[in-house]
Structure 1
Amino acid sequence: MLRHRAGLGGILAAIGGLFAALPAAAEPKFTPPPGCTLQTTVQLHACQVANYYTCAGDAPGDQWVSIADGEGAFFVSRTDAETRWMESVSLKDGTVEKLDAAGSRDNASFSTLLATGRDDYDFITRTNTGLVQRFKGFDQLTGESTSIDGVPLERCAFEMEIEDAAGNVVATRKGMQVISRQMRVFFAQTETYENGFGDRVTTTEGPVTFAFPGDADFAAATPQYDCDMMMTDLSLDHPSKEALR
């Protein structure tokens, strides 16, 4: 009996050694579509991760972002060199929203913001479900510089009204964000959102770490920060400012 116990112990020890020698399960990685190149991975507060990539067939300056939460990717968006919101796709319900550049009075301009410190905009978007929305507001640099994970950024205040096709205000948004001149990207930080019923929510988001080609966290598909906290009130149908612009 003792020999059997000893033999079993040796077998278990050997099996344990085999498992110890096996590599840990690899973290899932983000893979951009064919013809596209991943540029940057940004871990965000509120349990989100954003992967920015460019595609060979797009206009110069265009870039895409795929945003994922703890359940996987849920939003994809393309902006142009002026950070205009050209199109976005909700991966949860298939809604596609596109900029109506010709029908807009004053499209957003990142170049104007950098040159003058302020950019006013008044643009229209249309979805494949027939929803038409008008976004009126401004972005304004505060003159304050900051750095997150070694990446230089600048603080930028914003205010926005969202109207329906009939001109009714359905939501207002205001808060603080940061911009990257080099990446030509807006990142959310703090925002107060109020819908047409007067329901209001304040969120705190924004980047925590940046990863570039060769960095360990580059192409991460899983968010790392605040995932044990309930950070948003989904009942207000409140997309992040990062997703918007």
Structure 2
Amino acid sequence: MTKGKGITAALVALLLSAAAPVGAGSFKAPEGCETWLTVQSRGCRVSNHYRCSADQPGDQWRADFDLEGIFFLSRIDAEAQWVESYEFNPRVKQVLDGADDPASFSDLLQGRDDFDFRLSRDNGEKTHVTGHDALTGQRIAIDGIELLQTEFDFTEVDAEGNQLRRARGREYVHPEWRLFFAGPSEWHDGSDWLPSDGSPVQFILPGEKGFAATQPIFECGAMMSEAPGTLLPQQVRHDR
């Protein structure tokens, strides 16, 4: 990869070829990158987090897998601000397209962060996201890892101002890892609020059983509460 340029087509192809079959083996980060955390979550999702030496300091990648393989890949910066992401079914690239009030992890750790930014997809779609994250003051332990609980509310509109998505709820952050993790939330489908919960269940570090897994293990036999084709809130606004 070229410093600051993000993922290459070859890297996308590598991830696609390595992640397709159910029961696939370990995730292998691209050359020059190192996987450092695997998270098994509710909603039949496993995520592998990795860092690449060619990226800007503080940048992090996350590859999300379901039973059919990889479905979402994203990069954030040192402030946990969404830089770029890739959906694979159908394949769409999305990038940050400017911000009047950039997302700031540092501001959030002081209590609250308001954000106002724009996104651009390679299919021509442009959207505008506004909202906030705020600490609730609660500390939550999941699998022995202490996290700070947040509450959020965000709205995404198209170029004409039509509402595309709105969500609200709780998430979790790890101050030292500078990462967000999903929590119990609600989506508005235009008429009703629909529940969603992609909370982490297991945090797996190098050397531990299940590290770099590409097969999710939690709630894979249950009916998913998310609307079909709907990404988790942190995959819509600033990665997380």
Common fold by TM > 0.5: yes
Unmatched runs of 5 consecutive residues or more in structure 2: 1-22
Instruction: State the percentage of identical aligned residues.
Output: 37
Match of residue 107 from structure 1 = 102
Q: Within the alignment, does 1:81 sit opposite 2:60 as a pair? A: no
How many pairs are equivalent? 215
**8 Å contact kept, 2:46–2:215:** yes
Q: Which of the residues 61, 85, 94 maps onto 2:58?
A: 61
Q: Could you say what secondary structure the match of 2:107 adopts?
A: helix
Q: Within the alignment, does 1:52 sit opposite 2:49 as a pair? A: yes
Superposition deviation, residue 27 in structure 1: 6.1
Q: Within the alignment, does 1:163 sit opposite 2:160 as a pair? A: no
**8 Å contact kept, 1:156–1:176:** yes
Q: What's the TM-score, normalizing by structure 2?
A: 0.86
CA distance in 2, matches of 1:93, 1:238: 13
Match of residue 218 from structure 1 = 211
* Cα 1:108/1:232, change in 2 over 3 Å: same
Superposition deviation, residue 146 in structure 1: 1.2
**Cα deviation 1:15-44 (Å, max 9, x = unaligned):** xxxxxxxxxxx9611111111100100000
**8 Å contact kept, 2:129–2:155:** yes
CA distance in 2, matches of 1:207, 1:154: 13
2:107 alignment partner AA? T
Q: What's the TM-score, normalizing by structure 1?
A: 0.84
Q: Within the alignment, does 1:241 sit opposite 2:236 as a pair? A: no
**8 Å contact kept, 1:52–1:63:** yes
Aligned Cα RMSD in Å?
1.4
CA distance in 2, matches of 1:120, 1:217: 36
**8 Å contact kept, 1:159–1:175:** yes
Listed as ranges, the matches of 1:114-133 within 5 Å are 114=109, 116-133=110-127
**8 Å contact kept, 2:196–2:226:** no
Superposition deviation, residue 97 in structure 1: 0.3
